[in-house]
A and B are shown apart, each in its own frame.
Chain A
Amino acid sequence: AQSVSQHNHHVILSEAASLELGCNYSYGGTVNLFWYVQYPGQHLQLLLKYFSGDPLVKGIKGFEAEFIKSKFSFNLRKPSVQWSDTAEYFCAFYTGRRALTFGSGTRLQVQP
């Protein structure tokens, strides 16, 4: 069965610390990968996406993610987090079967 694992459920960092959130997917075929962010009280917004080509993808607000096919991973990174990055982050993939499959989310808390 297809699934997404996000290893960190809750991450607490100080401002300016570096961030890496893990995401592994389970699916044998071609996937399109996404990271969504949900700021407190707001709806999900697309952070970045990978379809093909360069496995290092840059998104909004200084985020980037690297697709490593051999590891079935799509980890999210940011060199220096800000207080405003406090949010919940969801990894998801699309297999062409109409809907996105989401991970359980990682709650990031950035302390000033």
Chain B
Amino acid sequence: NAGVMQNPRHLVRRRGQEARLRCSPMKGHSHVYWYRQLPEEGLKFMVYLQKENIIDESGMPKERFSAEFPKEGPSILRIQQVVRGDSAAYFCASSRRENADNEQFFGPGTRLTVL
């Protein structure tokens, strides 16, 4: 049973370019969460999605960041016009249902470096 998959594992972008991060949840999981980990900090919640719906994006920066989880295919976190401050590790997690009884399983993360 494959775990949460994220790709790419490492992504390098120049300032002003776009970054697309992909997350495939575990089989049978319809809830996806994106977290960002800045250097020397813990993971910070960004957005929570179910298939075709954004449920909670309270942790997402208001500009340049967007997320989707289409009916088919992986969840995508998109960062437009990246800046150096976007350099971080971005983790995706999935769960079967939305509550603490359903453990969130984490992917290996995508490390974004903005030059």
Check B70 for interface membership: any CB of A closer than 8 A. no
Q: In the bound complex, how far is the Cα of B38 from the Cα of A104, in angstroms?
A: 10
In the complex the two chains form, is A100's CB within 8 Å of B99's CB?
no
Q: Say which one of B14-22, B40-48, B61-69, B73-81 lies at the interface with A.
A: B40-48
Prevailing SS type, chain B contact patch: loop
In the complex the two chains form, is A104's CB within 8 Å of B40's CB?
yes
Interface residues on A, range: 20 to 34
User: Given the complex, which residues of A lie within 8 Å of B103, measured CB to CB?
Assistant: 46, 49
In the complex the two chains form, is A43's CB within 8 Å of B43's CB?
no
In the complex the two chains form, is B91's CB within 8 Å of A32's CB?
no
- A window 62-76: CB within 8 A of B: none
* Chain A residues within 8 Å of B, Cβ to Cβ: 4, 6, 9, 32, 36, 42-46, 49, 51, 90, 92, 94, 96-105
* Chain B residues within 8 Å of A, Cβ to Cβ: 3-4, 33, 35, 40-45, 48, 55-56, 59, 91, 93, 98-101, 103-104, 106-109
